[in-house]
Amino acid sequence: MRWEYEQVNDQQPRDEAAVAAFVERFAADLIEAGMARMPARIFACLMASEEGVLSAAEIGRRLQVSPAAVSGGVRYLANVHMVSREREPGSRRERYRLHTDVWYSVLAQRDSTVNRWSSSLRFGADVVGPGTPAGERLADSADFMMFLQEELDNLLERWHARRAAAGARTGADSGNVSAQAATRQVTSKDVTSKYE
């Protein structure tokens, strides 16, 4: 698989074979969790790109897939709020950008889903009878959904606080961290052997 050349820093290029191996590995993890194959590969490709934004042609070249496959995959990712579409200035070409805080966006989108499930489960418990085994099972499931919602809200608040604290802590050290990251070379052998 031939990937486009990207610079890690001014001194050295990225090992694109290692990047390609990571993309396929992460995509396989997403597929195993239930995501369709092409959206998983596109998402992993965008995550590994330096800017977090690529055109359909760039994605197609990197993944060696057709424009139609890219179109269907990014449509799915846009529908689940993992990427957004944008036009290149002065062009009709679209580019696909990861959300700045993609995991937060995905979890925040789940809020409405969890609320709908909880409401439907409560309705179901009333329909089948609150004192019946089915009613208790449905009510218990609705309670779990509400618990999950509350915990997700707290979790996301804690995550933002943690990021803010880490940003304040590493602001002064950012040059040092960048230098360390720039000198770290990862090969495709590192990626595959670490996860086997």
CA 61 – CA 55 distance, rounded (Å):
10
User: What is the model's pLDDT at position 171?
Assistant: 56
Q: Which residues of 42-79 are buried (b: 16+ CB within 10 A; e: fewer)?
A: bbbbbebbeeebbebebbbebbebeeebbeebbebbee
User: What is the model's pLDDT at position 96?
Assistant: 94
User: What is the model's pLDDT at position 11?
Assistant: 53
Residue 173 DSSP SS3? coil
Residue 162 DSSP SS3? helix
Q: Across the 196 residues of the chain, what is the mean pLDDT of every consecutive 10-residue run?
A: 48 82 96 95 95 93 93 93 86 86 76 86 93 94 91 84 82 41 39 42
User: What is the model's pLDDT at position 191?
Assistant: 42
Cβ neighbours, 10 Å, residue 84: 15
User: What is the model's pLDDT at position 180?
Assistant: 35
Cβ neighbours, 10 Å, residue 110: 16
